[in-house]
Chain A
Amino acid sequence: MRDLLNKLGSAKLAIVLFFLLAGISILGTLIPQGQPGSFYLGKYGQVLGKLILFFQINDAYHSWWYITTLFLFLFNLIVCSINRLPFTIKLYQKDPGELHPEKLPNKLVEQVRVTSEQLGELIAKKYGFKRIDKNFDNGEFFYKSVNKPFFFSVYVVHFSLVIIIIGALIGAFWGYRGNMSILEGESSNVVQPFRKREPVYLDFTVKLNKFILETYPNGMPKEYISNVTIYDKNKTFDAIIKVNEPLKYKDVTFYQASYNIIPEFTIKVIHNKKSEDFRISPFQPINIEDKYSIALQDYGEAHGLIFMKLWIVNEENGESKEGLIISGFPPLEVSFSEDNLSLEYVDLAKLYYMTGLQAKEDPGNVVVYLGFIIMMLGLFFVYYFDPKTYWLFIKRRDSDTWEIMLGGYAKRERESLRLKLETLLEEIKRDLSEVK
């Protein structure tokens, strides 16, 4: 058990997981996602198609193997961080004076000819070194630590990833996203979530006053705007919802997602030799003498003609018929067992806009954003504040010769540290040539 835990939290596994995740993430971008099963069997053949469905590659990022790998990654991240923390604390607390000057890392040694007595103080003061109160065969020992707290920067980044994943999980379990379609002039409080059947009923209503579609002179869409009014128990206010400018009210955020143009037609109905004009739309069936109801199933335009597909039901005996009426064509005669109907296209009476809002409630959102901020800070710390320690040891060789030893440690910039030490030594030598 302990052995397994060690393996799952090993740094080796972390490296494997990075490249493994990179590899398995590709699958879902190559194979179209979220199509019906028949699509895969048709496109990839029976064998490959069945394999795709069996391994859920049709919904790769929600499949058991992907989620498992992600959680393994998360687990590994946490265990690795905890395992390494004591090591980092040790580094942080390490006393720079413990080191013996002969054993300085990245050591550079140089002999300089200077007669001045206070050489140590001089250099230390100029470059901000601190004295180490230890005596090593009459030499003076100094150190300088920079960015010490930033030993912990990587933990900030790791922690932020955990926060983001927690935020995403909160959203997945306690939040929803869904559609809310409202016709101009109408109100609604119903949201149809994407992944559930049961609609969500808001405790306030949204009324669409007007939908505005702005276009550029060349006809490209410029702005989609829903002008809405929110009606709550003791509060009513107007608001505008645009793409990129969502509206937030009571934990629910509304986004401008889509729109539709809904027509209302006038048709002429002759029944029992009586002729009458009716208005019909996809949401508004018509009723004829409480006996027949007519619903608009489909409509459209082809070759400059408007067609409507109607569904006519005899409410008394349930008998139903379907038929097509086309603008400019003779009336459609529908014969039922008892009597006949004649239906004729008159005109397009009106166009309504319908806005498609997306409503979202995500209690994890704040957590995710917090994670984003922490991650950016952490990465900034990691990149720009690398902890380093410099050592300086100077010792008098004889009356006019001093030996200077420089050493340094860097957490990340190990290779450029040497260059830095060399430049520092050059600078010190230049200073000393002036001191003489």
Chain B
Amino acid sequence: MKYKSPLYGLLLALFIYLALAFFERSPVPDNALIFSLVTFVYLVAGINYLLYWIFNWERGSFWGSTIAWAGFIANLYGFVIRWIQTYQTGYGYVPLSNLYESLVFFGLSLAGLYLFWEFRLPRKVFGSLVFILASLIMAFASFVTDSSIKPLIPALKSNWLIAHVITCFLGYAAFAVAFVVGLFYLLADKSFLKDKLPSKIVLDNFMYRSILFGFFWLSIGIITGAIWADQAWGNYWSWDPKETWSLITWFIYAGAIHARLIRGWQGKKIALISLIGFIAVIFTYFGVNFLLSGLHSYGGLS
């Protein structure tokens, strides 16, 4: 049955929730603990997919998918619980406003997007890298960034911020999927992947659809960001490093889409661009926060 994995995943996620609620003696257990657990769940899901891929263990794809669904659902209620907890601390905001919150939301979007697309995939080997990546993102959030709930500075109090973060991360998640598929595409002829991947046409198409989807959301993310900047600072574009890097990312993927449509670029070329594009995404997201300073510096580690 098609929906067996999400269903079992939901049950597993509920079990995790009940166990946490029981141990913490609270219907809203600490959100940071949930997110730490999700890191672990994603890792286990990734390992199951890996076993499926490397040892041809057929049940691995089912278990990988089921555990991944559990992680995704736990990630989702972790988000809701953090939202509730911002109200309990008296600050009350949608938890999308610092590096920690954006990272756990990145994990959520990546897992969710991939799992919904997986329904249409003939083979599920991609889950291995997707969930190892998601686990790394969550681990980075838990170990490196500050998970405490802090009040919002005035500039961040805007509904445009919420729209901006959600749209950007949907885009980033799609580019992350395109990156994983691109990687598999480039390795498709290697012996350890023989007969384990869908046909190259399917891979190529999946990659292209992910890029197109990501480009759609990144564009809307840039636009909502510009509108927010206009409301907060009176200027919709100020060549702040983060803005510029999002534009660089936009140019790279726009180039890929146009090259495919008008010049017929396919396969390897698009796969390579999806790798370069994702490096630009990562740099837009982390590099700018850590290495360059600007308007987005509140996204930093402290």
Interface of A with B (CB < 8 Å)? 11-12, 14-15, 18-19, 21-22, 25-26, 28-30, 33, 61, 168, 177, 216, 218, 220-224, 242-246, 253, 255-257, 358, 360, 365, 368-369, 372, 375-376, 379-380, 382-383, 412-413, 415-416, 418-419
Contact = CB atoms under 8 A, between A and B. Distances in A.
Contacts of A28: 239, 244
Contact of A360 (B150, B227, B234): B234
Contacts of B181: none
Nearest to A26: B248
Given A216-B91, A368-B236, 13 more contacts: A15-B262, A15-B263, A18-B259, A28-B244, A30-B292, A218-B151, A221-B153, A243-B155, A375-B219, A382-B216, A412-B261, A413-B209, A415-B208
Contacts of B54: none
Contacts of A412: 212, 261
A244 B255 contact: no
A33 B280 CA distance: 21
B234 A246 contact: yes
Given A29-B292, A243-B154, A416-B209, A253 B255 contact: no
Contacts of B236: 368
Contact of B255 (A19, A29, A375): A19
A255 B208 CA distance: 42
Nearest to B212: A383
B234 A358 contact: yes
16 contacts: A11-B262, A12-B263, A14-B258, A19-B252, A25-B248, A28-B239, A29-B241, A222-B151, A243-B155, A243-B157, A244-B231, A379-B216, A383-B212, A415-B201, A415-B205, A415-B208
A416 B205 contact: yes
B202 interface: yes
**Residue among A12, A224, A257, A412 having the largest count of chain B Cβ atoms under 10 Å:** A412
Contact of A221 (B154, B158, B202, B254): B154
A376 to B, nearest CB: 6
B247 interface: yes
B234 A253 contact: yes
Interface in B246-267: 247-249, 251-252, 254-255, 258-259, 261-263
Interface in B197-245: 201-202, 204-205, 208-209, 212-213, 215-216, 219-220, 223, 226-227, 230-237, 239, 241, 244-245
Interface residues of B, number: 50
- Shortest beta-carbon contacts, A-B, top 6: A18-B255, A415-B205, A243-B154, A22-B251, A255-B234, A11-B262
Main secondary structure of the interface of B (DSSP, over half): helix
A360 B231 CA distance: 11
B151 A18 contact: no
Nearest to A216: B151
A264 B5 CA distance: 70
A262 to B, nearest CB: 21
Interface string B267-293: 000000000000010000000100010
A244 B151 contact: no
Contacts of A413: 205, 209
Nearest to B154: A243
Contact of A22 (B212, B230, B232, B248): B248
Contacts of B292: 29-30
A145 to B, nearest CB: 20
Contacts of B212: 382-383, 412
Nearest to B159: A244
A25 B154 contact: no
Contacts of B91: 216
Contacts of B158: 244
A30 B261 CA distance: 32
Given A12-B263, A29-B244, A372 B234 contact: no
